[in-house]
Structure 1
Amino acid sequence: MAATELAPDIAGALNWARARIAVVDARVLLRHVLQCSSARLAAYPEARLAMDEWTEFRSLVERREVGEPVAYLTGEREFYGRPFLVSPVVLIPRPDTELLIELALAHFGDKPHSRVLDLGTGSGALAVSLALELPDADVTAVDRSREALLVAMANAARLKASVSFVLGDWFAPLGGDRYHLIVANPPYVAAADPHLEEGDVRFEPSTALAAGPQGLDDLATIAAGAPRHLEPGGWLFMEHGYDQAGAVRGLLTDAGFSGIASWKDLAGIERVSGGQWLGR
């Protein structure tokens, strides 16, 4: 584009973008650049972009065109109705993971002063959401990545959630601490799964996705270690892959859990499995 040309209006910018990326993505990126609502895009299609806005929008569209996730481009993704900061050092929160929040509320929504543990917190979406939904709970979040914990801490501060953050590998930094509820969305993709080289996943941290030849390594570690960190009557809920429910129920059985079950996500797929620790 020649330096003397004007930037397009909103309609023109979107028309240019939709030839390269999905319309919904183009709208999200333009809203991000203009810091405006969807209603403004619809109401003022003739509003002209400033040249710096047009330059930024074009750059974001071109990055999206080669596959970079929209959430990383905007630095934000909604989870359980709240905006969470994200970056390439953390997994992008998915709607299916909200099932963990719903299960926690169903089991502990009426129990004050519960101690809650989020393993592999990443962006902090689970821990922060649980702290806000269960304001009487004592929530602890663990992650092995210092960079991820910084993102999670920023989200807690931004959303005014009280969460204790701990650096370490799963249960290792917790000593003998026990909890009434443990939730985890650990890596559960098989290391050789071709999906790791497709779509948005290519840009996400592999350490937050892959877990051994069958994707079960971290799920097995959590299931085996959880009894030492659960109060009698406490629950463990773990997210897993679409075809792993049976295997995860087996891990929970081997670890001595009771009331073992799997719950379906929005697509009707068994996405979370869990059980209750009655003590021995």
Structure 2
Amino acid sequence: MSAVPDIAGALGWARERIEQMDARVLLRHALACPASRLVAWPEQRLSDAEWAAFQHMVERRVAGEPVAYLIGEREFYGRSFSVTPAVLIPRPDTELLVELALAHFSAQPRLRVLDMGTGSGALAITLALELDAADVTALDRSREALWVAMANAARLGASVSFVQSDWFGSLGEERFQLIVANPPYIAAADPHLEEGDLRFEPRSALAAGASGLDDLAEIVGRSPQHLESGGWLFVEHGYDQAFAVRGLLADAGFASIASWKDLAGIERVSGGRWLGRG
């Protein structure tokens, strides 16, 4: 297509290359407009700059680059979070961690919460905004990820303390009533890591050893040192790891161990309550 098209023409061109929903999201971003404009004025012609920007994003999407990285944001629990290739793209499945936290702690005052491997900060920031008077700490080993998370917290008005730490390494003897984590849990040799959007996300936020359980084992095994008596640990894991994670929780001495299903009916989060050493 040589001439600069109108909105309808641009979408038609893009739909020959990428999915329709992706095309609409990218065009909205290129035009800096709401979705209603694409419907109301399909005959409106793009400017040269808008057309060039849209073509460039579509070609990057054809190459597999995630839409969230192309537009620089992703929605999580009804809020828009900035994302860059330094952080994992927030997934709807992770919202289950928020729901479990709210179900167990929504009425508890002076709650101390720890988010392990915060990435974009989506989970920590959401908990800080949804739980009244919660004192939320978020850690990540990546300084670049923490910059993204801190910017999101400032933009969304969330009070969160950020710590650069390799899991519990920099926490000293701090204890919490709630620990949540969405750690890496894909096996290092899993072929899916070389497919689709995963190719563009930080490998350190995805893969964890030969079975994918290395980081989960460390988090579960060391959480008792950082949980108050009666506190809870909830961890997200892979679709086929619930049984193994429940075993890790049992070995670490947790009580009330359970797994919870995501919207697809898959056991996506497991957790337990720490009652102290008997």
Normalising by structure 2, we get a TM-score of 0.99
Q: Does 1:94 align with 2:113?
A: no
Q: Does 1:214 align with 2:211?
A: yes
| Amino acid across the alignment from 1:84 | F
Give the number of aligned pairs: 277
Structure 1: stretches of 5+ with no match in the other structure: none
Q: Does 1:204 align with 2:221?
A: no
Q: Any residues of structure 2 matched to 1:1-280 within 5 Å, and which?
A: 5=3, 7-280=4-277
Deviation string, structure 1 residues 130-173 (Cα, Å, up to 9, x no partner): 00001300000000000000000000001000000000111111
Structure 1: how far apart are the matches of 2:247 and 2:201?
29
Deviation string, structure 1 residues 168-193 (Cα, Å, up to 9, x no partner): 11111100000000000000000000
Aligned partner of residue 259 in structure 1, secondary structure: strand
Aligned partner of residue 26 in structure 1, secondary structure: helix
Structure 2: how far apart are the matches of 1:135 and 1:222?
26
Structure 1: how far apart are the matches of 2:199 and 2:173?
37
Checking the alignment, whether the CA contact within 8 Å between 2:106 and 2:132 is kept in structure 1 is no
Q: Give the CA deviation at 1:35.
A: 1.2
Deviation string, structure 1 residues 83-125 (Cα, Å, up to 9, x no partner): 0000001000000000000000000001011000000000000
Aligned partner of residue 171 in structure 1, secondary structure: helix
CA RMSD of the aligned region, Å? 0.7
Q: Give the CA deviation at 1:275.
A: 0.2
Q: Give the CA deviation at 1:64.
A: 0.1
Structure 2: stretches of 5+ with no match in the other structure: none
Structure 2: how far apart are the matches of 1:42 and 1:13?
13
Deviation string, structure 1 residues 35-75 (Cα, Å, up to 9, x no partner): 11111111110111111000000000000001000000000
Aligned partner of residue 67 in structure 1, secondary structure: coil
Structure 1: how far apart are the matches of 2:165 and 2:136?
16
Identity of aligned residues (%): 74
Structure 2: how far apart are the matches of 1:198 and 1:65?
13
Q: Give the CA deviation at 1:9.
A: 0.5
| Amino acid across the alignment from 1:108 | F
Structure 2: how far apart are the matches of 1:102 and 1:113?
19
4+ residue runs of structure 1 moved beyond 2 angstroms? none
Aligned partner of residue 218 in structure 1, secondary structure: helix
